[in-house]
């Protein structure tokens, strides 16, 4: 994966960064990669000899949210990442070149670093009709196959590239598939999320350049360091779940006290991601801390996995199935469900704090 | 105006296990000299949990800033040997936050490579032969 040129340590030294600064860089890199601080000496030793890998970034059926996320990485910043740690040789949203010149840059990078470059893909690939998504007249499928052929590894960034995402949601009009459905002869690492956390994207790149290999993956191809535990397991509101304290509506007493959002549809218990600890916007917050449940965006098929605001414990099948079950179980059971629902609705209405326009004006 | 969940004043208990971990680390430092570094970014903490932790740790005698690839603050807490280390990039954005249990945090110590460079640079400036090499 290495290309000729100075090592990471040499690049930093050339920029006047002291050994102390280098160790700080290693400490923040360890934190970024979700590795324990005890790994800092190993990271320092690896970075002494690591060289900047060539990276080709392809964007297919996507919304550019993943690139937007990448550009908001603060550790390292996108500038530091591009100038110091990787050689980003093709990214059609970020690069200055366009058209023939851009494609020439991609071809040159592929040729010069054959077998060594890292291919990053965001967006799904349409199989239905090549014309659904093309770049420079080349279909997404052809460009992926051609570019992946000489890559050391492929990183599928975002839920669309990892699992098909929203383009593949029912009825999947373009026949969208993830990278792993096409590339079978290269290591494919999935970094799902809609979008993924900025520092998780850069963390995976940092791991590759530090150790020259991909991190350990789970059964869905995700790095365990970031996706090894559920949001629920690492959620700071977890103690409330254990105590049985839940918000019933978004503005009741429980919501104001920061209680568990499970009953409001939080998918944290079945979602593997690092949001609860790494957080967003430089570690400021994440959806649950901001009062909204997790929607499970890093899981396969999250868009078709049932309503975002329905508790996981509730059935997600069609209404007729639930009614049928009630009939089978007897009218008494059906009545009990209806009674409980009415009771829950009444409680929610009682706890509901209404805010009028006058209140909002007063709070200005 | 409704309060946001992040600024509520509710005891969740997430800081208490960390304080105990710090207590164990202090005992280990005294017994064997082994330092411990805890990455606050890897722990489930709400705003209130972190406020409780910092409140419990308090502030101590040493407050240092290291300017290396952006400012880093090294703050001893009210408990000697327990340090809060916060790394920021050149834009002042927080990159990583650690609790370090050590007699002196490693970031404050001059590094051998830098000392070697300094020795050579000073020798060169004075026009004398360099005695120390890398």
Which residue shows structure tokens 């494609």? A103
Q: For A122-140, how does the pLDDT look when each residue is reduced to its tens digit (9 = 90+)?
A: 999 999 888 999 998 999 9
Asked if B49's CB is within 8 angstroms of A240's CB, the reply is no
Half-sphere exposure of A318 (CA within 13 A, CB side): 3
Question: Phi-psi bin for A212: left (phi > 0), alpha (psi -120 to 50), beta?
Answer: left
**Residue A60: closest CA among A213, A176, A170, A218:** A176
Asked if A256's CB is within 8 angstroms of B8's CB, the reply is yes
- Per-residue model confidence as pLDDT tens for chain A (364 residues): 445 667 777 777 777 778 888 888 888 888 877 788 888 888 888 877 777 788 899 999 999 999 888 887 766 666 566 656 778 888 888 888 888 889 999 999 999 999 989 999 999 999 988 899 999 899 999 999 999 999 999 999 999 999 999 999 999 999 999 999 999 999 999 999 999 988 888 888 878 877 878 889 999 999 998 999 999 999 999 999 999 999 999 999 999 999 999 999 999 999 999 999 888 887 788 999 999 999 999 999 999 988 899 998 776 555 444 434 433 444 444 445 445 555 655 565 565 555 555 655 554 4
pTM of the model: 0.76
Domain boundaries, chain A: 8-226
Q: Which of B1, B16, B17, B44 to mutate to test the interface with A (most CBs of A within 10 A)?
A: B44
- Rounded Cα–Cα distance for residues A150 and A111 (Å): 8
Q: Are A206 and A32 in contact (CB under 8 A)?
A: yes
Task: Note the Cα A131 to chain centre separation in Å.
Answer: 28
* Fold (CATH) for A8-226: Rossmann fold (3.40.50)
Residues 6+ apart with CB under 8 A from A213: none
ipTM: 0.78
Q: Are A66 and A128 in contact (CB under 8 A)?
A: no
- Rounded Cα–Cα distance for residues A163 and A220 (Å): 9
Domain boundaries, chain B: 11-103, 107-134
The dotted CATH code for B11-103 is 3.30.1370.140
Asked if B72's CB is within 8 angstroms of A238's CB, the reply is no
Written as six digits, the tokens of A51 are 């060289």
Asked if A80's CB is within 8 angstroms of B1's CB, the reply is no
Chain B CA closest to residue A13? B114
Q: Which of A75, A247, A259, A363 to mutate to test the interface with B (most CBs of B within 10 A)?
A: A75
- Rounded Cα–Cα distance for residues A110 and A89 (Å): 9
Written as six digits, the tokens of A120 are 């990053």
**Four-residue CA torsion sign, A52, A54, A59, A60:** negative
Query: A363: which chain B residues are within 8 Å (Cβ-Cβ)?
Result: 1
Query: B13: which chain A residues are within 8 Å (Cβ-Cβ)?
Result: 239
Which one of A32, A239, A258 has the shortest CB-CB distance to B5? A258
């Amino acid at each position: 994966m290495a290309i000729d040129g100075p090592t990471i340590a040499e690049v930093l030294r050339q920029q006047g960064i002291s050994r102390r600064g280098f160790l700080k860089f290693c400490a923040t890199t360890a934190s970024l990669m979700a590795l324990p601080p005890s790994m800092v000496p190993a990271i320092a030793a690896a970075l002494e000899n690591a060289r900047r890998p060539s990276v080709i970034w392809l964007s297919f059926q996507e919304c550019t949210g993943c690139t937007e996320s990448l550009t908001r990485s603060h550790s390292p910043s996108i500038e530091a990442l591009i100038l110091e740690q990787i050689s980003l040789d093709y990214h059609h949203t970020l690069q200055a070149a366009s058209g023939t010149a851009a494609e020439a840059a991609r071809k040159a990078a592929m040729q010069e670093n054959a077998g060594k470059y890292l291919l990053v893909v965001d967006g799904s690939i349409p199989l239905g009709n090549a014309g659904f998504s093309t770049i420079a007249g080349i279909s997404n499928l052809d460009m992926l196959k051609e570019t992946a052929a000489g890559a050391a590894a492929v990183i599928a960034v975002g839920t669309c590239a990892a699992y098909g995402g929203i383009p593949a949601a029912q009825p999947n009009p373009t026949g969208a598939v993830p990278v792993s459905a096409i590339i079978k002869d290269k290591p494919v690492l999935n970094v799902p999320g809609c979008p993924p956390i900025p520092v998780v994207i850069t963390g995976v790149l940092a791991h590759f350049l530090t150790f020259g290999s991909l991190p350990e993956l789970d059964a869905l191809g995700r790095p365990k360091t970031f996706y090894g535990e559920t949001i629920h397991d690492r959620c700071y509101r977890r103690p409330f779940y254990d105590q049985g304290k839940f918000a019933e509506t978004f503005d009741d007493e429980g919501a104001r006290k920061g209680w568990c959002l499970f009953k409001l549809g939080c998918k944290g218990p079945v979602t593997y991601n690092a949001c609860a600890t790494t957080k967003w916007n430089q570690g400021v917050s994440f959806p649950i801390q901001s009062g909204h449940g997790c929607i499970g965006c890093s899981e396969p098929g999250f868009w078709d996995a049932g309503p975002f605001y329905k508790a996981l414990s509730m059935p997600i099948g069609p209404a007729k199935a639930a009614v049928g079950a009630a009939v089978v179980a007897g009218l008494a059971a059906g009545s009990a469900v209806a009674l409980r629902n009415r009771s829950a609705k009444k409680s929610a209405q009682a706890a509901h704090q209404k805010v009028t326009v006058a209140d909002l004006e007063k709070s200005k | 105006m409704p309060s946001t969940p992040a600024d509520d004043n509710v005891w969740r208990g997430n800081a208490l296990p960390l304080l105990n971990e710090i207590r164990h680390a202090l005992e280990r430092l005294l017994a064997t000299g082994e330092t411990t570094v805890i990455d606050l970014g890897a722990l489930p903490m709400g705003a209130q949990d972190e406020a409780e932790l910092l409140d419990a740790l308090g502030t101590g005698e040493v407050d240092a800033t290291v300017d290396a690839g952006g400012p880093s603050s090294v703050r001893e807490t009210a408990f000697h040997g327990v340090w809060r280390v916060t790394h920021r990039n050149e834009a002042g954005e927080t990159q990583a936050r650690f609790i370090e249990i050590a007699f002196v945090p490693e970031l404050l110590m001059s590094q051998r490579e830098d000392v070697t460079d300094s020795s050579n640079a000073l020798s060169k400036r004075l026009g004398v032969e360099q005695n120390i090499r890398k």
